[in-house]
């Protein structure tokens, strides 16, 4: 068992100049056989392993990761957490995640720096106003906190937004979810890794899956760069590379993997104490604890696994940012990066069994998987352990693309998810 982090452990370790802290997780070689193997050591994969061990009493589990844990989209997103989705299925699932976020630091004994600073979604035209008011009502019917702010209230809540009626896309109002906010992305991966490891989960980094071996419709194991691992259950949480894994298993997924970019500015003093999103002009901003503005840009239209997007996308986002926040006009951008996101046709995720027994997929989170990390892992663990979905992820099965029972959040949330 891991030693608990506390004020006492901090004091005790200060006497040895903090040189004797225990490793947060081991670095094991893979065993020959596991009860379940999770492919992908991002937040979703690590959370899945954590809940499998904790809630379903499965101890012989491995997480295999081709790079380092949290080095993919977990370390590349803009850390926004919210649950103000339109449809009942999404609202149920994302609010389940939000409720887990609210106790996560205590649960993991690891500070994930969850900050409920509120998330605003701005309306810029009459259609936006109707759509967002509808979403406000839908959220409240589902027990999710959401308020409608008038332009004056927007100005009061976040004074640096340009609320002039003379801009190209004037601010006509906004929704506000006060329970929403941000968290520290690395800490989420590390906290779940530490928690899972302390329950005996083997986290195996630098271990790429090269093939999925099966006999008929049952799983035999996975071929990896560290040798063959025998297992009867594989949970894939590989984000942008989900289709690559699906191709190994010989199944098809409705995904397209595209580059999504984000950028941060040079650090400045605290100026924006909430998260402001605008789907219509595609601009969203928050401020990190270091003082950098964290800005999410959009996806490029074409499939690419390069983790690089185009300059036009960033230019478009920054134009919108500058109109909404003229105060940022002389701010310099510090860093810019891309990740590969797997997008479903209905912009909702897949947490599902497949046609192959023992093979499960957790994918299609597209541009907004971070917010769901605890809920996604929790529900995926349930699906893997019981071989049937939890009622909260039943709607997110892979067969919805055959039945036509889609969870169409594209219209509800526009570009940002």
Partner 1 sequence: MFIIKCPYCGERDHSEFNYGGEAHIVRPKQPTELSDDEWAEYLFMRKNIKGLQYERWNHSHGCRQWFNVARDTSNDKIHSVYKMGENPPK
Binding site for partner 1 (CB under 8 A): 241, 243-244, 247, 252-257, 301-306, 308, 310-312, 342, 345, 401-404
CB of residue 397 to partner 1, shortest distance in Å = 12
DSSP 21: P
- Which CB, 95 or 300, lies closer to partner 1? 300
Bridge-based pairing of strands 293-299 and 80-81 is unpaired
CB of residue 304 to partner 1, shortest distance in Å = 5
**223 exposed, middle or buried (CB, 10 Å; 0-12, 13-18, 19+)?**
middle
Question: Distance from CA of residue 304 to its chain's centroid?
Answer: 20
- Which CB, 162 or 336, lies closer to partner 1? 336
CB of residue 369 to partner 1, shortest distance in Å = 17
- Which CB, 218 or 247, lies closer to partner 1? 247
CB of residue 244 to partner 1, shortest distance in Å = 5
- Which CB, 304 or 376, lies closer to partner 1? 304
* Closest of 253, 119, 110, 254 to residue 182, by C-alpha: 119
- Which CB, 65 or 346, lies closer to partner 1? 346
DSSP 115: B
CB of residue 169 to partner 1, shortest distance in Å = 22
In whole angstroms, what is the distance from residue 361 CA to residue 368 CA?
Answer: 17
N- to C-terminal Cα distance for the chain?
37
Compute φ and ψ for 264, nearest 5 degrees: -125, 150
Do 195 and 50 contact (CB within 8 A), yes or no?
Answer: yes
CB of residue 351 to partner 1, shortest distance in Å = 17
- Which CB, 194 or 400, lies closer to partner 1? 400
Q: What element of type H or E holds 311?
A: helix 311-324
């Amino acid at each position: 068992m891991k030693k608990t982090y506390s004020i006492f452990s901090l004091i005790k370790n200060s006497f040895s100049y903090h040189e004797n802290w225990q490793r947060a997780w081991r670095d094991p070689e893979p065993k020959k056989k596991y009860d379940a193997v999770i492919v992908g050591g991002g937040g979703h994969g690590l959370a899945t392993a954590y809940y499998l061990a904790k809630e379903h009493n499965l101890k012989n589990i491995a997480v295999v990761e081709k790079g380092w844990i949290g080095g993919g989209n977990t370390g590349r997103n803009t850390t926004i957490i919210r649950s103000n989705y339109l449809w009942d299925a999404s609202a149920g699932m994302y609010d389940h995640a939000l409720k887990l976020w609210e106790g996560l630091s205590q649960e993991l004994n690891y500070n994930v720096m969850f900050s409920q600073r509120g998330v605003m979604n701005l309306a810029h035209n009459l259609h936006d106003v109707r759509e967002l008011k509808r979403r406000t009502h839908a959220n409240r019917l589902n027990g999710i906190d959401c308020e409608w702010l008038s332009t004056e209230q927007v100005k009061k809540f976040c004074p640096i937004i340009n609320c002039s009626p003379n801009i190209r896309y004037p601010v006509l109002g906004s929704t506000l979810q006060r329970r929403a906010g941000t968290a520290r992305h690395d800490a989420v991966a590390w906290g779940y890794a530490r928690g899972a490891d302390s329950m005996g989960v083997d986290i195996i980094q630098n271990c790429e899956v090269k093939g999925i071996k099966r006999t008929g419709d049952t799983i035999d194991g996975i071929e990896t760069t560290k040798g063959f691992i025998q297992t009867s259950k594989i949970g894939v949480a590989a984000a942008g590379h989900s289709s690559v894994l699906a191709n190994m298993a010989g199944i098809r997924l409705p995904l397209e993997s595209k580059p999504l970019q984000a950028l941060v500015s040079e650090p400045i003093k605290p100026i924006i104490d909430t998260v402001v999103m605008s789907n219509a002009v595609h601009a969203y901003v928050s401020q990190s604890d270091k003082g950098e503005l964290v800005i999410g840009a959009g996806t490029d239209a074409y499939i690419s696994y390069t983790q690089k997007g185009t300059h036009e996308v960033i230019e478009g986002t920054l134009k919108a940012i500058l109109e909404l926040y003229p105060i940022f006009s002389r701010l310099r951008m510090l860093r810019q990066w891309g990740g590969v996101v797997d997008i479903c046709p209905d912009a909702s995720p897949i947490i599902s069994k497949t046609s192959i027994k023992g093979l499960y997929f957790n994918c299609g989170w597209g541009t907004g998987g971070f917010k769901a990390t605890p809920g996604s892992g929790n529900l995926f663990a349930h699906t893997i352990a019981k071989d049937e979905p939890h009622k909260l992820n039943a709607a997110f099965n892979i067969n919805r693309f055959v039945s036509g029972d889609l969870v169409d959040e594209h219209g509800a949330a526009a570009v940002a998810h």
